[in-house]
Amino acid sequence: MRGGTELGRVRGLGSAKAGAHHWLTHRITAASNLFLMLWFVIAVARLPGYDYATVRPWLASAWVAVPMILLIVSVFWHFRLGLQVVIEDYVHAETRVALMFALNFFVVATSAIAIFSILKVAFTAAAGVPA
Amino acid sequence: MTVSILHRVTGSGMATVGTLLLVWWLAAIAGGPQSYAVFHMVFAEFGKGVLGYIFGIGLTLSFFQHMASGIRHFILDTGAGYELNSAKRAANATFIFSVLATIAFWAFLLGAK
């Protein structure tokens, strides 16, 4: 154990005072995921096909594009919190820090690509842009 | 015990593999017919769509299992269901639900097309 005063030894080892917020946000996004993912699974199952001509106008509809963006925010936020718990439980020291960086970059980058893609499809549908 | 570990495994699997596939799918639609053709080739045409079935069934089974044990977590959060028998029964119910829901999903999907 490193030296110093008793106070110096325990400093930085306590609660970050963010645990309750993390826990609650995990539950709130779990509830919104439940509705959004059930919608998504049913909507995808009900599609008449999965070719480009079917899928693109489907995604371009406001009734699909908006819930899809909400799904991306809710689900990605939820998995960001969940993977953090998994990383904190099984990975330690420097590797943990590196994985947390990677997790944050991953969730931000993938959600940006997803939301941009949805908006691009939705906003170019009515303009007659060649699909 | 098993349900708890499966909750993490299915969650981590969907968060990584599921995320990449969903984002690929959305980006392929946004990218136009040629980029969608690549996605369609990989998951619907290659080997009669074997990759589509492997990832599709894996992800739907993971989703229904994660959803069922997530709902179980909501109930446990209220402080209920910790008695050995009811905990065991609820744990088994999540497996039965996820398998049946996955079968129902794919039966509907393949039957409707």
Q: Which residue of A has its CA nearest to B9?
A: A86
| Domain edges within chain B | 2-112
B-chain residues near A118 (CB < 8 A): 26, 30
Q: Find the CB nearest A86 among B8, B32, B44.
A: B8
Sign of CA dihedral B96, B99, B103, B105: positive
Question: Which of A46, A50, A117 shows the shortest C-beta gap to B44?
Answer: A50
CB distance B94 to A30 below 8 Å: no
Angle of helix B19-31 relative to helix A93-125, nearest 10 degrees? Answer: 30
Thinking of the domain A20-125, which architecture would CATH place it in? Answer: Up-down Bundle (1.20)
ipTM over 0.90: yes
Which residues in chain A come in under a pLDDT of 70?
A: 1-3, 126-131
Q: Does domain B2-112 have CATH number 1.20.1300.10?
A: yes
Best mutation target, A28, A35, A41, to test chain B (most B CBs within 10 A): A41
Give the pLDDT band of residue B2 (cuts 50, 70, 90): confident
Residue A48 C-alpha, separation from nearest chain B C-alpha, in angstroms: 7
The tens digit of pLDDT for each residue in B6-47 reads 999 999 999 999 999 999 999 999 999 999 999 999 999 999
For the stretch B28-52, what's the b/e string if a residue is b when 16 or more beta carbons lie within 10 angstroms of its beta carbon? bbbbbeeebeebbebbeeeeeeeeb
B17: left (phi over 0), alpha (psi -120 to 50) or beta: alpha
Compute the 3-state secondary structure of chain B and give helix, strand, coil in percent, each to the nearest 5: 90, 0, 10
B67 contacts on A by Cβ (under 8 Å): 34, 37
User: Which of A30, A110, A117 is nearest residue B29 as measured by Cβ atoms?
Assistant: A117
pLDDT tops 80 at residue B3? yes
pLDDT for A17: 83
Distance, in Å, from the CA atom of B22 to the CA atom of B25, rounded to the nearest integer, reads 5
Instruction: Please give the pLDDT value at position A12.
Output: 80
The pLDDT tens digits for B79-91 are 998 898 989 999 9
